[in-house]
Amino acid sequence: MAKRIVVIGGGPGGYVAAIRGAQLSAQVTLVEKDALGGTCLNRGCIPTKALLQAAELLTSIKNAGTYGISVEGFSVDFTAVNERKQAVVKRLVNGVNSLMRKNKIDVIQGTASLLDDRTVAVSGTNDRISADSIVIATGSQPTTLPLKGIDNPGVINSDQALNLVQLPRSMVIIGGGVIGLEFAQILRRLGSEVTIIEMAPQILPAEDTEAANALEGVLKKEGIEIFTGATVTGIESARQGGEAVSFTTKENGQQERTAEKVLLAVGRSPYIDDLGADKPGLAIDNGRIAVNERMETSIPGIYAIGDVVGGMMLAHVTMDEGKCAVENIMGADVKMDYRSVPRCVYTSPGLASVGLTETEARERYKEIKVGRFPFTASGKALIANDTAGMVKIIADASYGEILGVHIVGAQATELVAEAVLGIKMEATVEDIAATIHAHPTLSEAVMEAALDVGGKTIHF
C-alpha cells in the first residue's frame, strides 16, 4: 500500500514536497487555505519582480538617449502595471494547479489543523485525513512592531503594498532589508518620493558590508533617502494628511519624515496560527517549529519546512527543504546543507551572494584573501551602460577554497549561480580563474575577481 502523506500549505515548499512525494509513489493530499503558490507566488517573489521589471524598463526608456535613441510621449499607467503583475501571478498559479493534476495530488481548499500526530482536520468541512506522515509548510506572515501609531490607516505591510491601486506620492519604508529595498526602488522609479529607515548600521544587515554599501550608494543616487543606525520612535497621522514618522539617529538626533504611506518592512514571522501544534505536542522554539537537519520535528512522522521553521526564509530554500523532508519520509537519509544557498536582492543593480561575508570569514579563518573586479572594467557592462558594482570573492588563504562571493551589478542574481556551484563543489579560486569564460560577458567579472585573489587580474 502506498505511503500516505499530507502536506499542509501549498506554497513553494509545500507544492514541491507534494510533487516529490508523488514522484516517489506516495499518496499525497495537499491542504491550502488560499491560492496555490503561497506568499512567494501570490504576495512576494513573483509580483514584486513583475513590478521591478516595469520600473527597470521605465528607467531604460528614460536613458534611451545614451544609445542615440529618442523616445517621446511615454507615461506610466499604474493600473496597467498592476494588471500585468496579476496576469503573471495568475498564469503561474494556474501552472501549479496543473502540476497538481498531472501528479495526481489531491488538493483540498481549507485551513488544516493537527488533531494528533497522524490526523489532520480541515476547517469548514467534515474532512479528517489520516496519514503516515505530515509535512507542515504553513509559511510566514509580515512582522509587526510594538510601535505607537503602527495601526494608523496609512501604515501598511508588504502584502498591502502589492494591492495599492494608486501610486503614493511619497513613502517612508521602515526596514532596509530585501523587502524594503525592492519596494523602495519600485516606488522611486515609478515616481514616488522614498525614505528608508534602517535600525542596523547598514542596509541588508546580514550581507557583506562592502557590497551593501555599494548598493546603498547607487540607491541614493536615484534619489532614495536612506538612514541607517536609526530607531523609529513613533508614527502620528499628520494634520496635512499622511503619516509622520519620528526616529533618532546617532549623527543627527531626532528626525521626522512625513509621507502619504508608511511601509512596515521589518521581515516576516513563522505562521503557526490555527495549526494546533499543541495537539501532538510539537516543540516550538521562539515562535518557530523546531526541526533537525532532516526536517523532522520533535514528533516522529511530522516534518516541517520553509518559513515556519525560521532560518533562511527564501523560496528556493523551502523548495529544497520540501524535497529533503519527503525523501526522508520515503526512506532516504537526506540532510539539509545551507552552506551554498544564494541570497538575492532584485534591485537594479542587483545584489547576490553566497557563503560567508568578509567579516564572518575573518572571524572563522586564520587568514583569508579577497579579490575584486569592478564592472566599470567590464566590456559587456559598458556596452549595456550598466557599470555600477563589482564582484568580490573571499577565499581561504591556505588552500584557495572559495568561502564567499558577493556580486553587486547587472544580472547579479543570474551570475551568482556559478559561485553557488563553486562553493557546493568546494572549488578553489584557481578553478574559477582557469575556467574559460565567454567574451564579452558579465560573467568574465567573476573570473577576473578570482584572478585578483592571487593578484593576477588581467583587465584591471
**Separation between Cα atoms, residue 261 and residue 296, nearest integer Å:** 42
Question: CA-based angle 285:288:292, to the nearest 5?
Answer: 75
- Pairing of β 368-374 and β 390-396: antiparallel
Burial of residue 147 (CB within 10 Å: 0-12, 13-18, 19+) is: middle
**Separation between Cα atoms, residue 246 and residue 237, nearest integer Å:** 11
Which residues have C-beta within 8 Å of that of residue 287, sequence separation ≥ 6?
269, 270, 272, 310
- Pairing of β 133-136 and β 128-130: unpaired
Annotation says 406 is catalytic: no
**Separation between Cα atoms, residue 11 and residue 270, nearest integer Å:** 13
Q: Which amino acid is at 171?
A: M
The CA radius of gyration of the chain, in Å to the nearest whole number, is 24
Which residues have C-beta within 8 Å of that of residue 144, sequence separation ≥ 6?
150, 157, 264, 266
**Separation between Cα atoms, residue 440 and residue 40, nearest integer Å:** 34
**Separation between Cα atoms, residue 213 and residue 196, nearest integer Å:** 14
Q: For residues 295 and 204, is the Cβ–Cβ distance under 8 A? A: no
How many angstroms separate the Cα of 168 from the Cα of each of 26, 32, 194, 309, 444?
49, 33, 10, 35, 40
Q: For residues 60 and 369, is the Cβ–Cβ distance under 8 A? A: no
Question: CA-based angle 151:155:158, to the nearest 5?
Answer: 115
Selection from 114, 73, 25, 86 nearest residue 298 by Cα: 114
Q: For residues 203 and 176, is the Cβ–Cβ distance under 8 A? A: yes
Task: Catalytic residue, from 316, 406, 439, 459: name it.
Answer: 439
Instruction: Write down the H helix ranges in 63-103.
Output: 78-102
Q: Which amino acid is at 360?
A: E
Residues designated catalytic = 439
